[in-house]
Amino acid sequence: MRKLSTYALLVLTLMAPARAFCSPPVLNRAFVGLSDYKKIEDNVYVDPTLSDVELQRVLPGLQMARDRITALYGAPIAKPVTIVAASAEEATKFGVTDVPGTAFVSLTGTHVVLNMERFSLDVTAHELMHAELADRLGYWVRTRKLPTWFDEGVALQVDRRPQYLIDCATVDQEEIHRVKSLDKPGDFWSSDKDQNIRNYQAAKCAVAELFEKRPPKSLYSALSRLRQGDSFADVFRGD
């Protein structure tokens, strides 16, 4: 009976991630190349219902987002599978709700899903920066070593949405210390949207504070050290 209970527990434990992996949005992202979405560039797929005007904005928009990353951190190397949906309703089929875009990082790779109906250069640069961090670290290193506050703070440096244009001089050290304790996604995000905005603002300032002592273009070499085995604390010791 004890062996049976152990087996049942194991099966239930494995079923949750299996169900998540087989969910419709995950499958839609994984097999977008076999759908009617059109491939217009390496790893870039667009909704076939996009108008000619919208279609002509896609690649320049992605390039402007990459240029913004290059200007601050250096040229990106990540080539996430980028899916451009024509509407919010279509974007939900890939797992995006209530936002202009999202990056999904998993064992099978990184997907960036954008809603062309609400295209935002800020969001596109933000999500492509998440993809860059994931590419340079690899899935397991990112999961084990990269604090969520840092992941978000780095992406927010290229995100100029008004709610995040905060004067970091007005953020006290207690708030910086608080956000640095939010290492996991479940700690960083909540159901309180106002609190989430405060977390984003503090994370942006916490990373900006780090970059006062080391140039942003040192980020990629720091990520390389993490991937090679150094801890986050060791890489950013003294910062």
Among 4-8, 130-134, 191-195, 233-237, top mean pLDDT goes to 130-134
Is residue 116 a part of any domain in this protein? Answer: yes
Q: Is residue 134 part of a domain?
A: yes
Query: Among the listed ranges 93-102, 105-114, 185-194, 229-238, which one has the minimum average pLDDT value?
Result: 229-238
Dihedral sign of CA atoms 83, 151, 24, 29 in order: positive
| Residue 32, Cβ density class (10 Å: 0-12 exposed, 13-18 middle, ≥19 buried) | buried
pLDDT for the residue numbered 6: 45
6 occurs within a structural domain: no
Residue 2, in any domain of the structure? no
Q: Which CATH number belongs to the domain containing residue 176 in this structure?
A: 1.10.390
The answer to the question of residue 51 being in a domain is yes
**Could you list the residue range(s) of the whole structural domain that residue 112 is in?**
25-230
Residue 127 resides in a domain? yes
pLDDT for position 213: 87
Instruction: Flag whether pLDDT at 159 surpasses 50.
Output: yes
pLDDT score of 163 more than 50:
yes
Nearest Cα residue to 216 out of 69, 18, 35, 100: 69
Question: For residue 8, what pLDDT is reported?
Answer: 41
The pLDDT confidence band at residue 142, using thresholds 50, 70 and 90, is very high
Query: Is the pLDDT assigned to residue 117 strictly greater than 90?
Result: yes
pTM: 0.89
Residue by residue, DSSP assigns 155-224 as HHTT---GGG---GGGS-HHHHHHHTT--SHHHH--S-HHHHHHHHHHHHHHHHHHHTTS-GGGHHHHHH
DSSP 8-state assignment for residue 37: P
Residue 10 maps to a domain: no
| pLDDT of 18 above 80 | no
Average pLDDT, the chain: 91
**71 in a domain, yes or no?**
yes
Domain count, the chain: 1
Q: To the nearest whole percent, how much of the chain has pLDDT over 70?
A: 90
Residue 15: pLDDT above 70? no
Question: For residues 57 and 160, what is the distance between their CA atoms, to the nearest angstrom?
Answer: 20
In this prediction, residues 167-172 reach a mean pLDDT of 93
What percentage of the chain has pLDDT greater than the value 90?
A: 87
pLDDT at residue 21 in the model: 55
